[in-house]
Every structure is written in C-alpha cells, then in structure tokens.
Structure 1
Amino acid sequence: MNDKSKLSLLEQSRISFEDLRMKQSVRTTFKLPEEVIALLGIIAAQLGIKQKSLLDQLTEDSRLLFKLAKEVNTTTSGKEKRQAKTFVISRSSLNSINEVAKKQKVPRDILVEISIKRLLPIIEGELEKHIKRKQILEEMKEFVEQGETLRDQARQALGENDDIYEMIDGQIQLAKKNLTTVKGIIKKGMPMEDW
C-alpha cells in the first residue's frame, strides 16, 4: 500500500466529534398506546437486549421512517389511550424521528408507534414458538419420568455400582438439568401470553 492510499484510508477511518455526539444517549418522552410500550418491552426481553438498543434499531434509519410516515393515516391512528413513556435513545435516532416527523407532518408519537408495530410479526412468531415449547416441556417431563423408572429398574437389577446404571443416572441428571433450563426459557416468554 502506498503512502497516498494509507493517508486516504486513515482519513476515511477518522471519527469526528459530531459522529460521537450522535451516538450519545438522550432522554425523550413519547405518548404511546400501552400495548405498544408492552410490545417493545416483551420483544427486548425475548431477544435479551435493552429497549434502547431495540428502539434505536427501529428508528435510526431515516429513509425507512420516511417510507413508514407515507403510510400513516393520521385520522385513524392515535385514537387509543396513550401513556407518556420516557425512553433513552441515541441522539441520531431522535434526530431521524424529529426530521421525518417535521418533513412528513406526522406526529412523532405516531411515527415511533408504527416503528414499534413492525415488531408484531416477531411477537406472533415467538408466541407460536412459546406455545410449542410448553408442549415440548410436558413431553420432556414424561421423558424424565420414564427415565427415572428405567433407572430404578437398573438399580434393582444391576445395583448402583454398575456401569449401565451409572450411564442411565447420568442421562437422567442431564435431562433434569435441561428441563430446568427449558422452564427458564418458558418463564421468560410468559409475558407474551398476556400481550
């Protein structure tokens, strides 16, 4: 690589004060329907990420916000009961929201609401998986019970010091550990049932 291309690469990789400033977190309040606030919280919990990160991902792309704003029917949106909710988001996301809302003459709250509603297909898919997980959990419980019965039979027939008994016991202990893990996953998904 010659000096000229090294210099060009260095210039491209520089970050400006303004770039850093746009990543800075700011507090802002939106009035949103309660179910939309709940949707954001539930999906963030399911994904194991912060609401701030999720909301930033949904609102930082101003081109997408422009497309969403064009689809808004402000005469029908926003009629439901709204609750003020303060969020921490990046300055760049807030700037995108404010810019698009002003240019498209759409209330900021409606713009954020429709951005969050893009998560609806995700929660529907996750709820479907959650229901299937609960069914599988019941089958896992039956599997553990059958395994315990087999282990008891092996103990009576072979004794606790037999290799086969120890293998079966090890599998049962692993299955019980996995059962506990699955219960935790299902517990994490329980708020979706109320949504």
Structure 2
Amino acid sequence: MEDERERVDVMLVSQTYGADLKGRQSVRTTFKLSPRCIDALSLLAGQLGIKQKSIVDHLVDDTQALHALARDAVQSDGTTDDRVAKTYVISRRTLENLERVSKRFQTPRDTLVESSIERIMPLLREEKRKHEQRKQLQERLHLLLHASQELLEQADAVLDADDPVVDHVVLMARTVQNGCREVGQIIERGRRLEDF
C-alpha cells in the first residue's frame, strides 16, 4: 500500500516538475527585427549584466502585456527591408506563448517581439541618463584620487614609514584608486549607450 502511494507521489511530482522543466528548456528561434530593437536588447542586457534570453523571456512571458500588444499592433505592410534576421535563445514556454498569442490575434511573431522590446526603451533612456551622471561623478572621483595621492606623499614626507597613520593613508589611497578603476569599467561598459 505504501509502495503504491509512493509511486503515485513520484508520478505526480514527475508530471508537475517535468512539464515545468520542459518549459524552461532553451530553444533557438529567429526573428526579423529592426536594428534599433536588436541594439536595444543587446545594450540593456550588457548594461544590466543579464542574458538577452532573460529579457526576452520576461517580456514575452507577460501574457497580459502580450495580448495588449497584439490587439494594438500595427500590421506592417509586408516590407521587411529594414529588418534583420536574428537568432535568439529563448525558453520553450516563451516560444509557445508567443506562437499561441500570434495565432489567436493573427499578429506576426516578429511584430509581437518588436513591440515587446519597445517596452524597454524607457529603461534604456534612464540608463543613458545615469551614464551621463556617472561620467560627471567620475570627474570628481579623479579629483579625489589626486588628493589622496597628494595626502599619501605628504604623510610619507612628514611621518616615518612604519607609522600607523601612513598605513591607513596607504589603505585609503588604494581604496580610492580601486574604486576609480571599477567606476571607470562601469562607465566604459555604458559607452555604447551614448550613441543610442
């Protein structure tokens, strides 16, 4: 009796988690998108440090938003001259959701994906604004770095090398230097936003 119950539990768990895991499988699919949308997706993924797959999955898994986009979608006139075929890895569930909504509303998948990606444009504008502010702060950080180096030179000149204050000033100067380098890397990563 207990073996039978255990076998039924295993089957239920297998069915529940099996379907969920199968939906998370990655698949490759190609969309024809505008270069602007391709760039936007790439930029946001790079800026946030996440995979493009995660962004597409998040945008397309929002069924209510996808339905609204499909209802409001402006059908293209059939020309795809400005479109570029781009292959993405997305979850099987995302692809199934996309195809289901596409059929239901008779809206091309490419149009739905393009409209979904358009939803991230305000995020990119916000990231671009932050990037400009980071560049301004970087200028002030360079002044702080220069001041910490001057302070270190002064401490070195007036105190003995084994003085504990010199050790602390060295640590502070090193911390400022490391912070400036890391901020510089963040700003460098955001340089692509400047032309978007």
TM range (shorter): 0.7 to 0.9
Matched residue of 2:87: which SS?
A: strand
Give the ranges of 4+ consecutive aligned residues of structure 1 lying more than 4 Å apart after TM superposition.
10-14, 75-80
Which residue pairs with 2:120 in the alignment?
A: 119
- Matched positions, count: 189
Which residue pairs with 1:33 in the alignment?
A: 34
TM-score (norm 2): 0.86
User: Any unmatched runs of 5+ in structure 2?
Assistant: 1-7
Contact kept, 8 Å, 1:32 with 1:83, in 2: the verdict is yes
Contact kept, 8 Å, 1:52 with 1:87, in 2: the verdict is yes
Contact kept, 8 Å, 1:33 with 1:80, in 2: the verdict is no
- 1:159 Cα deviation after fit: 3.1
User: Any unmatched runs of 5+ in structure 1?
Assistant: 1-6
- 1:14 Cα deviation after fit: 5.5
TM-score (norm 1): 0.87
Q: Residue 86 and residue 125 in structure 1: after superposition, are their counterparts in 2 closer, same or farther (change >3 A)?
A: same
Which residue pairs with 2:104 in the alignment?
A: 103
Aligned equivalents of 2:62 and 2:79: distance in 1?
22
Which residue pairs with 2:44 in the alignment?
A: 43
- 1:144 Cα deviation after fit: 1.0
Q: Residue 125 and residue 76 in structure 1: after superposition, are their counterparts in 2 closer, same or farther (change >3 A)?
A: farther
Which residue pairs with 1:153 in the alignment?
A: 154
- 1:121 Cα deviation after fit: 0.9
- 1:13 Cα deviation after fit: 8.9
Aligned equivalents of 2:116 and 2:74: distance in 1?
14
Structure 1 vs Structure 2 CA RMSD = 2.4
- 1:20 Cα deviation after fit: 2.8
Matches within 5 A, 1:52-131: 52-75=53-76, 81-131=82-132
Contact kept, 8 Å, 1:98 with 1:108, in 2: the verdict is yes
Q: Is 63-72 or 83-92 further displaced after alignment?
A: 63-72
Aligned equivalents of 1:34 and 1:125: distance in 2?
20
- 1:166 Cα deviation after fit: 2.1
| Identity percentage of aligned residues | 36
Contact kept, 8 Å, 1:61 with 1:96, in 2: the verdict is no
- 1:189 Cα deviation after fit: 1.3
Q: Is 95-104 or 107-116 further displaced after alignment?
A: 95-104
Q: Which amino acid aligns with 1:191?
A: R
Matched residue of 2:89: which SS?
A: strand
- 1:18 Cα deviation after fit: 3.3
- 1:47 Cα deviation after fit: 1.6
Aligned equivalents of 2:119 and 2:78: distance in 1?
15
Contact kept, 8 Å, 1:32 with 1:82, in 2: the verdict is yes
